[in-house]
Structure 1
């Protein structure tokens, strides 16, 4: 197979179907021809004005605006690495990533101009501003002027370029995963063509033909999670590879009502969510409105996506829910696909390139009950940008194969599906017994009075650590903690039952569904100290 390059494929689609809508918002619309023209103008500016060379970097401090996509394409077309930075970061955090990524250009909306200016102070970086109503930044280059100056996309993108995707930094400073653009589209062939039931193409010409073929399903994707995240980015790029349309809500925070109206107006066929954090408010809006009549697929990855929310989504229309198990560093490891409520509970099916490894890092047979480290040996990134040590730790050369091993443990069910158990670093070692938090969380979440839960270890004099849980009640319910623990006791071994339970109105998950575990543990420890001071029991009660 001759692997197409994203930029070359998009250029072929723009030439073959110039009047198709490529990007739509409530107030604007770019055809594929206009998409190519804007991207070409930015590509010309990078090479002829700024003087960037292949493998240098442009940072994007942008929310889900059309410019996020035009800037990215302009970068890919000339071999410059696009680097998306979280627009919620403070100036010091932005500055750290500008330095880490060696960025030469920073593209930013005028509303974030002050943060950009502070972050770039003293650095040799060109600031490019996109007008979103904020004050213009003195000395910055206006994106509108770049577009007005015009320019053309090159006939083909240079080889050897990369795309850098920053991880979230939950275990330390964020690191950029470096993906080779010469093979990236091949790595995503299943999530691009496979999801719509089309055989992946063998050449660039075949890929263009599939995209413009009237019989190919027309995909209109609305990413409800930020484009800087891997799932939204890859699915958006995949939609464009199919000649589809991207619908965007260009706001720095999610307005679910506005997103629903946009989905209805543009007849969005695919939604990208971040588990329950986005899907739950969406389903609540859709239930009181007109459902999701045009949506045929909903995608999420790496976040808690409960069966209850999936069941409610399935009740709204004939749609497929794809829960991906993937990482910035590689995958997908497994798909949890449901087509109707009868398919629930969702089970993750391993992909052909995913394996389980034992403690000696040997591949094991996927027999019922087999426990191992989840690994992937398909097309992989080059590693982490400028971090050979971390690259060597995560991307392992073992007996002639290169694997990515993020650190997740899984148990095989024997039917091709797995039960994800979580990171070894998160395992609670209580009296020599290992407890995987995900296993306990699943049982807690099965109780009707529990809306959210996180399980972790707390220090214990006798056992080293004890299993602990912080939960949020469902719908304001009064949680009977002893009854909840009895519920757990019926389903799990005694040593897996939480010794301490803490009840909070909310776990204060981030917009992407993450919990700050350090904060949770500090909160729990403080409550234990208060209980000890008042002679309270070890087990918490609702409050």
Structure 2
């Protein structure tokens, strides 16, 4: 991979301003393909302008927060675009949340509007029992359910389109992350800083000079001699990796494709790559790539050609060498990029595979990344050293409304500001590192972060449960799976399936323990602490006992 593109004064731009300019240059080019329909750049811009007009008529303006509780749909992108047009802030909400979790996010974000599909309407109604809903609620019909509370999304598109407005590069973009505390935290980007951080992702693989003004950005997007960018995000737009790459695609005048279902369908994905000539695929490691290559290796996938893929990007979870080799066998001209970053910023390192010669894949530090030891000395050039990753470059402002946590994750060291989420590595030499994991106990399962204390609280609400501990144990597909040790009252008939069901009634499905072990007691210290290393080490024996 080439060196990242240096920042320039174009980083003072705003995404809505860029997209509006691109739409004027290529109005009839396909922008979004979803649900059997194609929206041109003119269509997308008009829909976003009309929604922006409706938002403004309801009193929303720069700095207003618009919660999006939705899986990947064209309406998600329209809402993001409309928010940008008025300087408002989209708020990403995990569509797997239950009512109580949704309520907590609405409260934390101080949302001024909410957009959701009718299939998630019951969760919205459940949330309304915990927190007042925003005055403006829009429902996208995707089943036969009622739009209440709220009104149909389409009615907002009847508004008069808002003319392009002067927009600031300092307008904000939120990415909510559970982080290591379990409390939702919004990482705050400005449009200018985010665009600056994405320059390599946007232009690094193209035979063009780096644009330095809006006219050059528009001219590049309008060129017909450059390789097309056709992006299929298989991961949700609620995650930064998918959203930012979709945003980048629109900067390039490319096309974005959404699958028709919230549930991941690997066969539908393979067919879409084949039929639409997808060039850029957004995945989440083994959990997404595994089912995809299984389909491609099966009789069902025998006639499907995915060789149009030029780039496959993954971030946030384990992606095994075996699956990389199987995928690249079907797309031999593609580059597989394993990005090691976080919602807080980065990227910190890349693992790049272009063929079998790149296996085993080892992450290499990105320019701008250093490794600090415990004394805050740079040790990225010291083979064998262990330390924490830190990145200096374009980064977020910090966490919304949390200066203390901002100071922790974005420290200034020797006069330089860094982002340091707490990921530890061992230095291998020549820029390569071995990832050791985050210093906290957060469980990263299938790209989703799970805070053990939240799950433990749910477990302790179950009748008969007297003690519990939750942690992550290794898994070849998901990287880690949520694992629970549960202590019950003597003679309790409680089963593992019942424990999982009870947690699922309180929390999102991915937070349910996939492994549940009943134990007589937890060996806590006088202060209540447990040896997590010892607990993890017992998992194989307990699993063997379950199957003996």
TM value normalised by structure 1: 0.79
CA deviation map 1:386-407 (0-9, x unaligned):
1112111111112211111111
Q: Which residue is 1:326 aligned to?
A: 341
Q: Which residue is 2:117 aligned to?
A: 109
Inter-CA distance 113–368: structure 2 relative to 1 (3 Å threshold): same
Q: Which residue is 2:319 aligned to?
A: 305
Which whole-Å CA distance do the structure 2 matches of 1:373 and 1:61 have between them? 34
Q: Which residue is 2:211 aligned to?
A: 201
Inter-CA distance 214–380: structure 2 relative to 1 (3 Å threshold): same
Match of 1:13 among 18, 22, 26: 22
Which whole-Å CA distance do the structure 1 matches of 2:381 and 2:228 have between them? 37
1:148-297 aligned within 5 A:
148-169=158-179, 171-196=181-206, 198-288=208-298, 289=301, 290-297=304-311
Deviation at 1:524, TM superposition (A): 7.8
Deviation at 1:164, TM superposition (A): 0.6
Which whole-Å CA distance do the structure 1 matches of 2:280 and 2:384 have between them? 35
Which whole-Å CA distance do the structure 2 matches of 1:184 and 1:269 have between them? 23
Inter-CA distance 31–124: structure 2 relative to 1 (3 Å threshold): closer
Match of 1:66 among 74, 80, 84: 74
Q: Which residue is 2:529 aligned to?
A: none
Q: Which residue is 2:144 aligned to?
A: 134
Q: Which residue is 2:3 aligned to?
A: none
> Partner of 1:210: helix, strand, or coil?
helix
Contact persistence 1:60–1:107 (CA under 8 A) = yes
> Partner of 1:410: helix, strand, or coil?
strand
Q: Which residue is 1:431 aligned to?
A: none
CA deviation map 1:1-43 (0-9, x unaligned):
2223211111111000000000002411100000000010111
Deviates further, 398-407 or 114-123: 114-123
Task: Say whether 1:78 aligns with 2:72.
Answer: no
TM value normalised by structure 2: 0.78
Contact persistence 2:51–2:159 (CA under 8 A) = no
- State the structure with bigger RCO (CA 8 A, min sep 6), 1 or 2: 2
Deviation at 1:50, TM superposition (A): 1.0
Inter-CA distance 199–283: structure 2 relative to 1 (3 Å threshold): farther
Deviation at 1:515, TM superposition (A): 8.0
CA deviation map 1:421-450 (0-9, x unaligned):
1122359xxxxxxxxx99xxxxxxxxxxxx
Contact persistence 1:7–1:156 (CA under 8 A) = no
Deviates further, 112-121 or 124-133: 112-121
Deviates further, 120-129 or 52-61: 120-129
Give the root-mean-square deviation of aligned CA atoms: 3.0
Task: Say whether 1:33 aligns with 2:42.
Answer: yes
Inter-CA distance 541–473: structure 2 relative to 1 (3 Å threshold): farther
Match of 1:54 among 50, 62, 75: 62
Contact persistence 1:109–1:134 (CA under 8 A) = no
Contact persistence 1:37–1:150 (CA under 8 A) = no
CA deviation map 1:519-538 (0-9, x unaligned):
47863857999xxxxxxx96
Match of 1:411 among 426, 429, 432: 426
CA deviation map 1:482-513 (0-9, x unaligned):
xxxxxxxxxxxxxxxxxxxxxxxxx9xx9xxx
Inter-CA distance 141–200: structure 2 relative to 1 (3 Å threshold): farther
Deviation at 1:300, TM superposition (A): 0.4
Which whole-Å CA distance do the structure 1 matches of 2:94 and 2:200 have between them? 27
CA deviation map 1:451-503 (0-9, x unaligned):
xxxxx9xxxxxxxxxxx9956699xxxxxxxxxxxxxxxxxxxxxxxxxxxxx
Q: Which residue is 1:450 aligned to?
A: none
Deviation at 1:139, TM superposition (A): 5.6
> Partner of 2:367: helix, strand, or coil?
coil
Deviates further, 352-361 or 10-19: 352-361
> Partner of 1:272: helix, strand, or coil?
strand
Inter-CA distance 338–520: structure 2 relative to 1 (3 Å threshold): same
Which whole-Å CA distance do the structure 2 matches of 1:150 and 1:143 have between them? 15
Contact persistence 2:67–2:91 (CA under 8 A) = yes
- Paired residues, what number? 463
